Amino acid sequence: MTVQLDNARIGFIGTGVMGSSMAKHLQQGGYKLSIYTRTKAKAQELLDLGMEWKASPGELAAECDVVITMVGYPSDVRALYLDEGGVIDHARPGTYLINMTTSSPLLAKQIYESARLKGLHALDAPVSGGDVGARNGTLSIMVGGDDQAFNTVLPIFEQMGNRIVLQGGPGAGQHTKMVNQIAIASNMVGVCEALVYAAEAGLDLKKVLSSIETGAAGSWSLSNLAPRIIEGDFEPGFYVKHFIKDMEIALQVADDMKIELPGLSLARQLYARIAEAGLTEKGTHALYLAWDKNEGAQGGEGGRYHP
């Protein structure tokens, strides 16, 4: 059984930094939205836009044609989908379940199988692009699951992202996101080290950035996050706490596959240090503060230390 999605009601669970913008794009695309988040007050802006509040994930799932989750941790994903009284228990046959939280590939496969037994269609579809991509509707969406389910919900994905790829079967989306996070982790170390070096050399960091960001050193992190570092703005587009979670998933999966990831291991160690300093609610570019106690690359003398 499948659902016609032209006039679908979409349930969105998790309306944080990224989820709120994603839900807005769906509403702007003409979809009716029901939402659930643990603290109703945090979703007030979306309720003011006409989205409907549901008191529990189960109530939301029972009334929606598509359920999208964008929450924090694998434990949250597991509870939402697999616990008694959760999304899978309450969703009607034919409902599409899309987990856009970065989680483990193994959990994605477990959700897929549990959903299939209930006549539901599950996709794992983590994203990249941070708060900027969510606001602009330009996320990269990496999808794992069946061709039919992917093709059916593709118009929904297109409201939130501009690079949408079915990577393979269940879990393939999460594996691809791990590849993304592995690449970002070592790159972020490089971006921070480069700015530390430039600052110590007495260079104008904005001029340095203008010279290197379009050359071989260029990267999304260099263009989008280095300016925030220079300005001393460490507010999150993507939280340190969530990036640490992602790195730990990747390291565990790599260990299961018996491969070594020394760059990722180093990044994880450095992020552990800023976590210990109480910076888990900052953005991933706050890694710079592992070298600089002052808030900003142009900070005063005497604040820098080396990990």
With H, G, I as helix, E, B as strand and everything else as coil, classify residue 108. helix
Q: Beta-carbon neighbour count of residue 278 at 10 Å? A: 8
Cα separation, 46 vs 39, in Å, equals 13
Q: Contact, 33 vs 26, CB < 8 A?
A: yes
Specify whether 207 is catalytic: no
Q: Cα torsion for 40, 46, 51, 52, to the nearest 10°?
A: 10
Catalytic residue among 24, 54, 109, 177: 177
Span between the terminal Cα atoms of the chain, in Å: 56
Q: Cα torsion for 190, 238, 133, 192, to the nearest 10°?
A: -20
- 15 Cβ contact list (under 8 Å, min separation 6): 23, 35, 37, 42, 43, 46, 70
* CB < 8 Å & 24+ apart, contacts of 268-273: 268/185, 268/244, 270/189, 270/307, 271/240, 271/243, 271/244, 271/247, 272/244, 273/307
Cα separation, 154 vs 217, in Å, equals 34
Q: Beta-carbon neighbour count of residue 223 at 10 Å? A: 13
What is the sign, positive or negative, of the torsion defined by CA atoms of 51, 57, 63, 64? positive
- 147 Cβ contact list (under 8 Å, min separation 6): 166
With H, G, I as helix, E, B as strand and everything else as coil, classify residue 275. helix
Active site members? 177
